[in-house]
Amino acid sequence: MKHTDPRQLVVDLCRQFYFQGWCTGTGGGISVREGQHIFIAPSGVQKERIEPEDLFVIDLDGQIVEPPADPTLKISACTPLFLNAYRMRDAGAVLHSHSINVMLATLLCEDEFQVTHLEMQKGLRGVGYHDQVRVPVVENTAHECDLADRMAQAIADYPAADAVLVRRHGVYVWGRDWQSAKTQAECYDYLFQAAVRMRQLGIDPTRVPATKG
């Protein structure tokens, strides 16, 4: 696949995720790493209208390497949370979604979301059809920046998961590159939606089905 300019990529993904309902109301966020540089969308803006020059470029210490052309833009409140996944998991991209599927899924469980025996879970790193998918849930805080320590602990506790759910809020998802982060975010979102709807139908999404398959 040809090299994609990381600035254009973040802009394109923001538009796409906006129309999927993942970053409406200026919520959510997207970041992509290229080498030692992380390209990150600004905070509190209309995510579907971001331009390539609006992005911040930071390093893995969180220092701004290149500010956006518009000096009034603020760096995303998600930045310390994104950095957790870059540092602890060597991620190539980290996404933050406010999808309603995600928010509802966090109401179904205590400190861990689970689902099993769904074809789409095979899109997750190292997960097979018969495995139990487990995603940690951390409690929300009044300010997004205060979530960083809880998220870091959850990442350490769940080495098999590439996502952390935040109660009544959203999810952080990452991958080794932007393609895997996007694929996993789509699969996780499908699984969250499936679990919510299965509960509505009276089906326990964490139970191994009695029938073959």
- Catalytic residue positions, numbered: 119
Cβ-based nearer residue to Zn ion, 144 or 162: 144
> Cβ 144 to Zn ion, closest distance in Å?
5
What distances in angstroms separate CA 16 from CA 62, 92, 180, one per listed residue?
Answer: 26, 19, 16
Nearest CB to Zn ion, comparing residues 92 and 170: 170
164 Cβ neighbours under 8 A, 6+ residues apart:
135, 136, 137, 138, 151, 154, 155, 158, 171, 172
The CB-of-169 to Zn ion minimum distance in angstroms stands at 6
DSSP 42: B
**Region binding Zn ion by CB under 5 A among candidate stretches 39-47, 131-139, 163-171, 193-201:** 163-171
Q: Could you give phi then psi for residue 193, rounded to 5 degrees?
A: -65, -40
Of 177, 180, 84, 77, nearest in space to 123 by CA = 180
Residue 170 is given by DSSP the state: E
- Which is closer to Zn ion, CB of 29 or CB of 175? 29
For residues 167 to 186, the per-residue mask of contacts with Zn ion, x marking binding by CB under 5 A and - elsewhere, is: ---x----------------
Size of the site for Zn ion (CB under 5 A): 1
What amino acid occupies position 50? I
Structure token pair of residue 177: 């590159």
Distance in Å, CB of 165 to Zn ion, minimum: 11
Least distance CB 177 / Zn ion (angstroms): 23
Question: Which positions touch Zn ion (CB under 5 A)?
Answer: 170
